[in-house]
Amino acid sequence: MGAFPVVHWADVVAEKLAMENRRHVLATAITPSGPIHVGNLREVMTTEAIYRALKDRGAEAELIYIGDTFDPLRKVYPFLPEEYEKYVGMPLADIPCPCGEHENYAMHFLEPFLESLKDLGVRPHVYLAHEVYRKGIYNEAIKVAMDNAGKIREIMNSIAHRGLPETWMPFNVKCEKCGKLNGEIVAYEWPLASYKCKSCGFEGEVDLRKGGAGKLPWRVDWPARWKIFGVTFEAFGKDHAAAGSSWDTGKVIVKEIFHHPPPMPLVYEFIHLKGRGAMHGSTGVAVSSEEVLRMLPSEVLRFLFMKYEPNRHIEFDTGFGLLDLVDEYDRYERIYFGLEGETAGTKDARRVYELSQPHSIPSRMPLSIPYRHLAVVAQIGRNFEEVVEILSRKHEIKDFDMERLRERYEKIKYWLENYAPEEIKFQLMHEKPDVELSEEDIKFLSALKKKMEELEWEAEKIHTCIHDTAKEVGISAGKAFRAIYRIMLGRDKGPRAGYFLQSLGRDFVLRRIGEFI
RNA sequence: GGGCUCGUAGCUCAGCUAGGUAGAGCGACAGGCUCUUAACCUGUUGGCCGGGGGUUCGAAUCCCCCCGAGCCCGCCA
């Protein structure tokens, strides 16, 4: 097994799957009932990593994503207008798009998510549940389920301790009158079923062969899917893994009803927003995948998932932790390119780095600017070109690096505007700020102004000039810098003074000092 | 009541699936860079490994109990 050391979790799972020596179908599914957040994303990323690891071993594998577009809307979520009350119970694909620009409600949330997947280099075969049903692909499974309703009921009652009544049937009809998935079957003889709608009271009869006539309940739908798509592996959140939960009933139903083996399972933990608990669409503790990609390079987001084993919960921090995460990624990159040794804190660094690449692995070590530093420079330069100019003083920026630098610049700008803690933000005071200065501060500034009038306006020179002047006036350098930051930013600390003042321009600096002496 | 997962330095986490006197990053602190920014470099600090038992010559690592945290156990997915 030399080429792929079996240490990374994705390789461990892939190794096991590969031993089965057959074609694999790895399934993922998410219900687009609201913004699809990074917590949900973990399911896809985890599965995709294993998919890649399988391919790396030469196994034949397919990655599929099933959008649960045929699920009913459960309630009016906080982000929805009240009028959506009338759609509760209807399939997501039948409900109008909240913004009016997508085909339907489901696509409103699904499309940006699928876009994110593209950025992340994930290209699954996408199926939409409402289409799968409509095309009649479920028909066989529906018949088997209906014909075995009694057995399914027993399984559910014994494993999940449900008190399902004798009359329970494993199918919810979509009411022809109100369009909700609340039609309860009262009589059945394949292929016809009579139902009564629990929502509007309508009574009717449907031909179950007509695609989209209704839907299998989740606990039956899931195992049916394993058979229909030949799923051999599926990762799911621990909510499905609790005792008596859908995995417990599903693995029995698929064997005994559909006569098909269950896939290999993998339970993954949830993602928490630092300090706010597990992400949950309905509680508002969530950041959508597309939103995260606005502030974090895609390879770093992948890195977040690859680094931790699936059974660890992840603390996602949109504050300073985000900077640390990027810097940590860069560290793994240096290790990958041999510029730094692997240490106790890094785990499977090379493999994690490989799996973090959305597309191909860079042919050589990319330029890496400490992200924290970039956060500062991005606030000094007024645009990307200026930022490049500032960075060029210390770093050699090649064309090769420009694209990544631009992406990082744009993302950190977004982060600064929307998520960054106040401590790292600074803003040039365009008007004279209201700050306290001491006698010696003023003495220092006066002397500084005089010297600066003659000074060559260059960062290093400015820096030295500040120190020289401080010494001459007999004020500590600390106080000197503080005075400068106070009159420029209205606070005690700031970015490297030399570069900072240089970028502000001599005129501005002299004028501002003049306002205080 | 039940299931799964987790509890290691201020923070985020390695180490625990072949038991052998605690690790990384960040932070903080100090120093360096021909003179103290939030760059960069170096160093220091910092943990009775949630608690208690047991197995062992020896346990963060194995077993048992307890405490704490998270999510779940709805004809919802």
Q: In Å, what is the CA distance from A307 to each residue of A221, A347, A349, A413? A: 33, 7, 8, 25
> Quick one: which residue's CA is nearest to B36's C1'?
A478
A103 within domain boundaries = yes
User: Quick one: A115 and A231 in the same domain?
Assistant: yes
Distance CA A114, CA A99 (A): 18
A302 within domain boundaries = no
For the residues A220-230, what does the mean pLDDT come to? Answer: 94
User: Quick one: A46 and A190 in the same domain?
Assistant: no
The parent domain of residue A403 ranges over 371-424
User: Quick one: A97 and A175 in the same domain?
Assistant: no
pLDDT class for A330, splitting at 50, 70, 90? confident
> Quick one: which residue's CA is nearest to B22's C1'?
A344
> Quick one: which residue's CA is nearest to B15's C1'?
A344
User: Quick one: A134 and A205 in the same domain?
Assistant: no
- Tens digit of pLDDT for each residue in A436-460? 778 888 888 888 888 888 888 777 7
Q: What percentage of chain A carries pLDDT values higher than 70?
A: 95
Q: What integer pLDDT is reported at residue A319 of this predicted model?
A: 83
Q: In strand B, which positions have an atom below 7 A from any protein CB?
A: 2-6, 11-15, 17, 23-27, 35-40, 70-77
> Quick one: which residue's CA is nearest to B72's C1'?
A239
Report CA(A75)–C1'(B31) in Å, whole number. 61
pLDDT class for A4, splitting at 50, 70, 90? very low
Q: Is the pLDDT of residue A188 over 70?
A: yes
**Residue A239 CB burial class (10 angstroms; 0-12, 13-18, ≥19):** exposed
User: Quick one: A262 and A130 in the same domain?
Assistant: yes
Report CA(A64)–C1'(B3) in Å, whole number. 29
User: Quick one: A104 and A230 in the same domain?
Assistant: yes
Q: What is the ipTM of this complex?
A: 0.81
User: Quick one: A225 and A192 in the same domain?
Assistant: no
Q: What integer pLDDT is reported at residue A300 of this predicted model?
A: 92
- Tens digit of pLDDT for each residue in A41-50? 888 999 999 9
User: Quick one: A119 and A145 in the same domain?
Assistant: no
Q: What integer pLDDT is reported at residue A2 of this predicted model?
A: 29
pTM over 0.90: no
User: Quick one: A100 and A111 in the same domain?
Assistant: yes
Q: What is the CATH number of the domain that holds A233?
A: 3.40.50.620
Write down which residue in A272, A294, A309 finishes a domain: A272
The answer to whether A284 CB is within 7 Å of strand B is: no
User: Quick one: A375 and A494 in the same domain?
Assistant: no
DSSP tag of A121: T
User: Quick one: A127 and A250 in the same domain?
Assistant: yes
Structural domain count, chain A: 4
Q: What is the CATH number of the domain that holds A495?
A: 1.10.10.350
Residues with Cβ within 8 Å of A234's Cβ and at least 6 positions away in sequence, in order, are: A26, A27, A28, A47, A226, A263, A264, A265, A266
For the residues A161-189, what does the mean pLDDT come to? Answer: 90
CA torsion sign, A162 to A166 to A167 to A169? positive
- Tens digit of pLDDT for each residue in A58-95? 999 999 999 999 999 988 888 889 899 999 999 999 99
User: Quick one: A461 and A416 in the same domain?
Assistant: no
The answer to whether A7 CB is within 7 Å of strand B is: yes
Strand-pairing partners, residue A295, are none
Q: What integer pLDDT is reported at residue A283 of this predicted model?
A: 59
